[in-house]
Amino acid sequence: MNDVENLVETLALEPIEVNLFRGRATDSDGPRIFGGHVIAQALLAAYETVQDRVCHSIHCYFIRPGDPKVPILYEVDRARDGSSFTTRRVIAIQHGRQIFNLAGSFQVPEEGWEHQAEMPVVPSPEELGDGGEQMKAMIDQMPEEQRRWMSRPRPIDQRPVNPRLQSEVRPPFSNIWMRAKAPIGDDPRLHQVLLAYASDMSLLETALRPSGRGWQTPGMQSASLDHAVWFHRPSNFNDWHLYVQNSPSASGGRGFILGQVFTQDGKLIASVAQEGLIRQRKV
């Protein structure tokens, strides 16, 4: 566990004024900050201004690439505190400019009618074996930069049900088991925050599958544009979760992806939607 990044520590915020927080990123992901990192810290900043309520949805826009070499300021606007619902807006700032914003809604816990979609039948994470071993079997066929990026220690354990090489043409859906590697603790808000972090992983790859391209294809420009998560039920993100993804549409240099997150016993705990840039430039 020594080589595993502890996301609870990495994502921690420093309060610097009322409604203003400072966060930091790591430079291990390359020249820009991973989108899930900013989503998670913005949700944490909103939670710092909310009491006794649970986030049920976030809606995010990525405006500029994040710079991993400098801190990120998170400014929270306390838009509304109602009898049942609380609304917050969070702006992430670097170099004096917005790089990201989030709108979040929080609700007093209550009981209500329930139904949910069924989880697809797929091999269990135990049947699939270690995700790192899956990757090692494919890594020799990857370009050098992708080999280096995929070989580094990662905070989220992933076990793809239907992995592919980026040059393979596949239908636009994927299933991935995932969980946080380092212990999260007992705070349910942190389990939700780390799920939000992981929700930005692998979505654009799903949209690229029919094209036979990947993020390391020469000339490929890809980035998250907007991202939404609806949290349906609490869960323990140190346990395995199945991330079911499909891309109903790609057009105009953009890919649209829908996701569902299930616990291993089949409870639907979150739904995700994202649109991202998938643009092929001439090399």
Q: Where in the sequence numbering do the catalytic residues fall?
A: 200, 224, 274
Torsion angle, CA of 37/145/4/207, rounded to 10 degrees?
Answer: 50
Which whole-number Å values give the CA distances from 56 to 8, 191, 202, in the listed order?
A: 21, 13, 22
C-beta neighbour count of 158 within 10 angstroms: 19
d(CA 217, CA 126) in angstroms, rounded, equals: 31
d(CA 198, CA 243) in angstroms, rounded, equals: 10
d(CA 64, CA 74) in angstroms, rounded, equals: 15
Q: Long-range pairs for 84-90 at CB < 8 Å and ≥24 separation?
A: 84/108, 84/110, 85/53, 86/50, 86/53, 88/46, 88/49, 88/50, 90/42, 90/43, 90/45, 90/46
Place of tokens 């066929």: 141
d(CA 21, CA 16) in angstroms, rounded, equals: 5
